[in-house]
Structure formats: C-alpha cells, structure tokens
Amino acid sequence: RKEVEQDPGPFNVPEGATVAFNCTYSNSASQSFFWYRQDCRKEPKLLMSVYSSGNEDGRFTAQLNRASQYISLLIRDSKLSDSATYLCVVLVSSNTGKLIFGQGTTLQVKP
C-alpha cells in the first residue's frame, strides 16, 4: 500500500463546477498535511496547509479526517486557470521534516 494515495484522474469538469479530491494516508502518526498545485512541467507550489480539522481559502477548502486518515480538497466555482495537478502531501516526521507526496490528481476545467 502506498503511503499517500490519490486518484490520478483526470477529473474533467465544466467551468463553475464544484470538484472534490480525496487523499488517504497510511501513517496514523502523520502530523501535518498540505495540498500543492503543480502545473505541467513546473515546480509544485503550496496551495494550502491543513493543520487541524481543516481550513478555507477563498474557493478552496481543505478538510482532514484523522480517524479515517484522509484529506480532501474542495474547489468551488472552478476556473479554467484551476487546471493543474494537485498533490496531496503528508509530513511523516517533524524531526526530519520528511514529506511524502502522492502521485497527484489531474484536473481539467473545460469552458
């Protein structure tokens, strides 16, 4: 079983749609969680950090369910510019700062 699992997609949605991605992690001791966005052939960029039960930033909402060991990302009112790959990332050790990356979920927003 992978340490961090995501549905690779692609998710094809029309502009204005609401889309949700889920991510599961295997290490119950994981402490911090992040969503990164990666555009084609570019570096990942931090989208949101998820430290407690969840947080919201504009159209984006991230939620954490520790009991079930999954994290979700909800995007409301999708824009064409939201098309990218979204990486679920888990901090497995605060001593080393080691992050584990999921393979990513690809989103394509269509006009």
Partner 1 sequence: DGGITQSPKYLFRKEGQNVTLSCEQNLNHDAMYWYRQDPGQGLRLIYYSQIVNDFQKGDIAEGYSVSREKKESFPLTVTSAQKNPTAFYLCASSTWDRGGNEQFFGPGTRLTVL
Binding to partner 1 by residue 95, rule CB under 8 A?
yes
Query: Which of the stretches 19-27, 57-65, 70-78, 92-100 binds partner 1 when contact is defined by CB under 8 A?
Result: 92-100
If the CB atoms of residues 17 and 101 are measured against partner 1, the closer one turns out to be 101
Q: What residues contact residue 109 under an 8 Å CB cut-off, 6+ apart?
A: 13, 14, 15, 17, 78, 79, 80, 81, 82, 83
Alpha carbon separation from 59 to 1, 2, 20, 22, 56 (Å, rounded): 32, 29, 12, 17, 8
Q: How far is the CB of 109 from partner 1 (least distance, A)?
A: 21
Return residues touching partner 1 (CB under 8 A): 4, 8, 32, 34, 41-46, 49, 51, 87, 91, 94-104
